[in-house]
């Protein structure tokens, strides 16, 4: 159980795909001008990564080493196509505003990276848990960035006006430069948290050494 929790939780902060590993960045800045888009993108991404890791982990012993990259790509592309078609059918508005970024999940390096580094070596349960951790780690960052940008840039949250009447929306935050700026601050914040955690772990290690 503890091991599963460890696998799950590393995706959230210490090995967060966006803030620490710095992969899969494109969609993170592009779709975060509104919270609704961020939730849609996060859900789509989590779906694809969980199923891709699960399937590849199930077949890991059958996949020949030389042909693994094309096989991974086909599996990922198949699940991406499913998401794309489902979204077009049931949530056409969301699909319209996410645009090319849904098909681009296929080249999102987070999925390829986790499949190659984790799912192709571990059992299906671990792979699924890892994928869920990475997917949620991706989603919380997306929603966080989107919340900051939407509240400051449009004075709204999920499309509902929440700021007081006299609030003048800061247009900068909904435009592309604002996305980069908020993302920079998120990385900085996450690095700060990670530094704090490392320092605490080190302190604990030292006290336990002294006690012994």
Task: Specify the DSSP element, H or E, that contains 157.
Answer: strand 156-157
Q: Fill in the per-residue mask, 63 to 102: x = in contact with other proteins (CB under 8 A), - = not in contact.
A: ------xx--xx--xx-xx--xx--------------x--
CA distance 130 to 123: 11
Stretch that binds other proteins, among 19-27, 41-49, 119-127, 137-145 (CB under 8 A): 19-27
Q: Are 133 and 8 in contact (CB under 8 A)?
A: yes
The alpha carbon of 197 is separated from its chain's Cα centroid by a whole number of angstroms, namely 21
CB atoms within 10 A of CB 58: 14
Instruction: Say whether residue 117 binds other proteins (CB under 8 A).
Output: no
CB-CB contact of 47 with 111 (8 Å): no
**Minimum separation from the CB atom of position 63 to other proteins (A):** 16
Min dist CB 82 to other proteins, Å, is 10
Instruction: State the number of binding residues for other proteins (CB under 8 A).
Output: 40
Whole-angstrom CA distances from 182 to 99, 103, 145 are: 22, 25, 6
Q: CB of residue 133 vs other proteins: minimum separation in angstroms?
A: 21
184 binding other proteins? (CB under 8 A): yes
Environment class of residue 5 by beta-carbon count within 10 Å: exposed (0-12), middle (13-18) or buried (19+)?
exposed
Give me the least distance between CB of 38 and other proteins, in Å please: 13
Tell me how far, at minimum, the Cβ of 166 lies from other proteins, in Å.
26
Binding residue for other proteins, selected from 4, 12, 23, 63, defined by CB under 8 A: 23
Direct distance between the N- and C-terminal alpha carbons of the chain, in angstroms, rounded to an integer: 28
Give me the least distance between CB of 170 and other proteins, in Å please. Answer: 13
Residues forming contacts to other proteins in the complex (CB under 8 A) are: 22-27, 29-30, 69-70, 73-74, 77-78, 80-81, 84-85, 100, 103-104, 106-109, 112, 175-181, 183-185, 187-188, 191-192
């Amino acid at each position: 159980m503890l091991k599963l929790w460890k696998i799950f939780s590393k995706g959230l902060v210490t090995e967060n795909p966006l803030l620490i590993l710095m992969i899969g960045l494109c969609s993170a800045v592009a779709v975060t001008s509104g919270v609704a888009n961020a939730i849609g993108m996060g859900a789509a991404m989590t779906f694809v990564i969980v199923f891709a890791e699960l399937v590849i982990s199930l077949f890991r012993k059958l996949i020949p080493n030389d042909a693994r990259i094309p096989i991974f790509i086909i599996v990922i592309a198949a699940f991406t196509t499913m998401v794309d078609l489902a979204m077009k059918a049931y949530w056409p508005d969301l699909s319209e505003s996410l645009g090319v970024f849904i098909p681009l999940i296929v080249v999102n390096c987070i999925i390829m990276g986790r499949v190659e580094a984790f799912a192709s070596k571990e059992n299906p349960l671990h792979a699924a848990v890892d994928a869920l951790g990475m997917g949620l780690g991706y989603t919380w960052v997306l929603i966080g960035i989107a919340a900051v940008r939407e509240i400051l840039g449009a004075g709204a949250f999920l499309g509902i006006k929440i700021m007081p009447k006299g609030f003048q929306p800061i247009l900068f935050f909904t435009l592309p430069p604002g996305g980069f700026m908020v993302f920079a601050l998120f990385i900085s914040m996450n690095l700060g948290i990670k530094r704090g955690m490392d320092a605490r772990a080190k302190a604990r290690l030292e006290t336990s050494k002294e006690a012994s």
